[in-house]
Amino acid sequence: MNTFYTILSVPIRPEIDEKLSVGLLLVSGNDLYYHVSENKLNIVKKLVNINSYKIIQDSLKHISKSRKHEAPVDSKKQLKFSSKSEKFNSSYIDYLSRYNNNLLSVSSPKPIDVKASQDLFNKLYLKFVDEAGVVSGTAQKAIHHFEIFKKKYLPTVKEYFNIEKEISSSDYPDLLMPVKIDLMGKNKIEVFAQTVDMDKNLRSVQLDISDLLLVQKAIPKAKQFLISQEPDKKNIENHTVWNNIRKYKELEYLDVSEVEKINEYAIEHGVVPLLQE
């Protein structure tokens, strides 16, 4: 079976052939796997002008719509296509790699002597595109963005927040029990940001949200950000909680991909760490 993959990249500094990989195609006979990294696109958005970014997005959408798909393997951008058209073959990929608008680069097809599968796609995606997120064929998030949030984002906001510290009744008498918070700052009011992993078991999700509600009750004027991401829709109970919490006006919901908004708030409102260290 003819199996090959190709990497989608955006040239960053053409003069030295520097590129940023943003997506991956894996083709094997009748099947095609495709996924684009939202993380990488967010970086690209900061490096190119608006018009160029729109062209890149349009090019990616064109690829995803080039064949009629029967059923997505995930609710995001990764699709498994039918074989009603033979358009996605190595010749067509070669054509895409040669004919581009200098904003999106498509590598020449790389043949691989293995049958395509979701597991193979994930491994290639991790290696060549983005270690921050691979979507599995069962629509589970194999690698959470929370790992990247904690390892790469948290250290960048020390100027504004205490990171992963605990507050208790000794700090706020109305706080019934100690609560550990990802980010704690203050301006005229306290500012908190907390992650809640909606893909955990329901009891864990409930406990995490209860912590936020305890803080809200003890410090009602505090600004609170709840950072999360949409859970698997098949997990009906968790998905219902996720929908409800997004509508709860006392907490500002942010998808984990939108955490830069916390930086913007901190800068605009002069936030500094809540606790002296």
Domain boundary among 100, 128, 156: 128
Shared domain check, 86 and 202: no
Whole-number mean pLDDT of the chain? Answer: 79
Q: Is 211 among the domain residues?
A: yes
CA atoms of 209 and 250, how far apart (whole Å):
12
Domain boundary among 76, 101, 128: 128
Q: Where are the alpha helices (DSSP H) in 160-259?
A: 202-218, 236-247
Is residue 181 over pLDDT 60?
A: yes
Tens of pLDDT along 92-134? 666 665 655 578 888 888 888 888 787 888 888 888 888 665 5
CA atoms of 195 and 138, how far apart (whole Å):
24
Residue 184: which H helix or E strand, with range? strand 179-186
Residue 233 belongs to what domain range? 145-273
81 vs 155, residue with greater confidence: 155
Domain boundary among 128, 158, 184: 128
Q: Is 124 among the domain residues?
A: yes
Shared domain check, 170 and 111: no
Instruction: Give me the number of domains the chain comprises.
Output: 2
Shared domain check, 206 and 178: yes
Tens of pLDDT along 34-64? 888 887 888 888 787 888 888 888 778 777 6
Percent of the chain clearing pLDDT 90 (strictly above): 30
Q: Is 86 among the domain residues?
A: yes
Shared domain check, 157 and 117: no
In eight-state DSSP terms, residue 135 is: B
Q: Which pLDDT score, from 0 to 100, does residue 170 have?
A: 94
Tens of pLDDT along 236-263? 999 999 999 999 989 999 988 788 899 8
Q: Is 134 among the domain residues?
A: no
Is residue 72 over pLDDT 60?
A: no
Shared domain check, 265 and 156: yes
Q: Is 134 exposed, middle or buried (0-12, 13-18, 19+ CB in 10 A)?
A: buried
Q: How far is CA 192 from CA 162, 163, 183, 277, in A?
A: 10, 10, 5, 17
Q: Which pLDDT score, from 0 to 100, does residue 141 have?
A: 37
Shared domain check, 158 and 229: yes
CA atoms of 75 and 232, how far apart (whole Å):
9
91: its two tokens:
């010749």
50: its two tokens:
């608006």
CA atoms of 14 and 259, how far apart (whole Å):
30
Q: How many CB atoms lie within 10 A of CB 129?
A: 23
Buried b (16+ CB within 10 A) or exposed e, 76-89: ebbbbbeeeeeebe
Q: Is 137 among the domain residues?
A: no
Shared domain check, 103 and 11: yes
- Break the chain down into helix, strand, coil percent, rounded to 5: 35, 25, 35
Q: Is 68 among the domain residues?
A: yes
Shared domain check, 18 and 124: yes
Q: Is 140 among the domain residues?
A: no
pTM: 0.50
Shared domain check, 168 and 118: no
Shared domain check, 244 and 162: yes
Shared domain check, 164 and 52: no
Q: How do beta strands 272-273 and 179-186 pair?
A: antiparallel
In eight-state DSSP terms, residue 231 is: P
Q: Which pLDDT score, from 0 to 100, does residue 150 have?
A: 75
Nearest to 201, CA basis, from 161, 238, 245, 157: 238
Identity of the amino acid at 77: K
Shared domain check, 52 and 13: yes
Q: Is 35 among the domain residues?
A: yes
